[in-house]
Each structure stands twice: as C-alpha cells, then as structure tokens.
Amino acid sequence: MIRVKDLFLRYTREFYALYNISMEIKQGESVAFIGEDESGKTSLLRIFAKLEKITKGEVFIKDIPIDKLNYKTDISAGYVPASPVFLEKKSVYDNFKYVLKNWGYSDKEIESKINNVIIEYSLEKIKDTKIKDLSLDEKYVLSLIRLTFRKLDLLMVDNIFDKMSDATKEVAINLIKLLQTKNTTLIVATTQEEIAKLLCKRKIYFKHGSISDKPEDDD
C-alpha cells in the first residue's frame, strides 16, 4: 500500500523535519505514528496527504509515486488534520453538500446522503449552524462523519486527540473504527500510547525526525 525509502524533508538548510525514513505499510494494516510534538509524525502524514513535498527519497502509494498520485482518481483517501478544515461561514449542511458535489454526486444523491447522515448521527440541532459557531470537539467529530459518505482505501488521522474531551474521544474512536473496512489502511499520528493501542495493531515511534526503536529512551 505505502512504501517509503530514504526519505528526507528539509524546511530550512539546517533543519530536517524528517531524516532518513524508510517503512512499508500493507493494505488493510492499522499503524500508529507515536511521538511528541515536532517529532516528525505529522510531517510524514502530510507528505502522504500531498500537503508537503519531499526533499529527497521515494514514496509510493499503491505503487504510484507520490508526485504522480491523484487522490480523485487513483485511490479513495480521507485525511483528518489536527486543525479541522471547513468552510467556516457555511452551515454543517452546506459543508457536506460542498464535499459531495466535488465528488460528483447528483443533487438527489447529495440530499439523500446528507439526510441519512443527519438522522444517523443526530445532527438535526446543528445542521443549519455555521461551522465557526461550533466547538473544536464538534468540528473533529464532523470531520470524521464527513468521511462516512464513501468507502476509504486509506484513512489518515493526525494528532486530533490531545485537545479532546474524554467523551469526544470515545465518539471519535468509534467513528474511526466505523470508517475501517478490512481493506482500509489506517494511519493515526498521536502522542498517546492509549490511543495507539485502541486503534492500531502496529506502532512506529518517532523522535527528532527519525524512527526510534526505543521510545522509552530520552536524550
């Protein structure tokens, strides 16, 4: 599913956000990237999401070089960033509509899909609320609900759990599990071992931009 070989990401001449990263993630695997803030886990996830360009090395997703990969045609992927991305001045309903229209659904299909989601996730009270008036927890949950409109080959979840209430964590974890099929590859970037244990079968530890074999060691 994902192959990374000798990857470097440099933001300035002196600073490498990622240094000599190599790994393989199989289709259907659930993997946690674990590390403190600025350890490199989010930078790698952003490369997979095509939000950062690598400085050196190779990344293949479904055997397609990352710079050639088209997320609209080559693979069905979902990315949940640490800072939720919405049309802030639009309502919940309009945000859902915007995404579905971009994916090519007809007006009739859009209305049906949104109404089903509103009922299933009890969104009646906030469907007409502007995103800017919602809490961060609500935005995280909506980011995940928005992905239930389609089956995913790849689900990437950035470090969303640190600022969540415990109640919302439970909701988010259940939604992530719901989004997974046996063929969905899941990658979760987190600072929390507990989250990794609940969602993923394999852990990869990051430290100072590199993969660390011994996460308990501190310099």
The dihedral through the CA atoms of 119, 122, 128, 134 has a sign that is negative
Separation between Cα atoms, residue 131 and residue 136, nearest integer Å: 10
User: Do 191 and 162 meet the contact criterion of CB atoms below 8 Å apart?
Assistant: yes
Sequential pLDDT tens for the chain (219 residues): 999 999 999 987 778 899 999 999 999 999 999 999 999 999 999 999 999 999 999 999 999 999 999 998 999 999 999 999 999 999 999 999 999 999 889 999 999 999 999 999 999 999 999 999 999 999 999 999 999 999 999 999 999 999 899 999 999 999 999 999 999 999 999 999 999 999 999 999 999 999 997 655 444
Q: Which residues pair with 114 in a beta bridge?
A: none
3-class SS at 72?
coil
For residues 141 and 20, give the distance between their C-alpha atoms in angstroms, rounded to a whole number.
34
Q: What domains are there in the chain, each with its CATH number?
A: 2-83+151-210 (3.40.50.300)
Q: Other CB atoms closer than 10 Å to residue 192's CB: what's the count? A: 15
pLDDT of 14: 73
Query: Residue 94's closest CA among 140, 145, 148, 131?
Result: 131
The pLDDT of residue 11: 86
Nearest to 210 by CA among 38, 82, 57, 12: 38
pLDDT of residue 215: 58
Axis-axis angle for helices 107-120, 92-102 (nearest 10): 130
d(CA 12, CA 143): 32
| Phi and psi, residue 14, nearest 5° | -95, -20
State residue 216's pLDDT score. Answer: 52
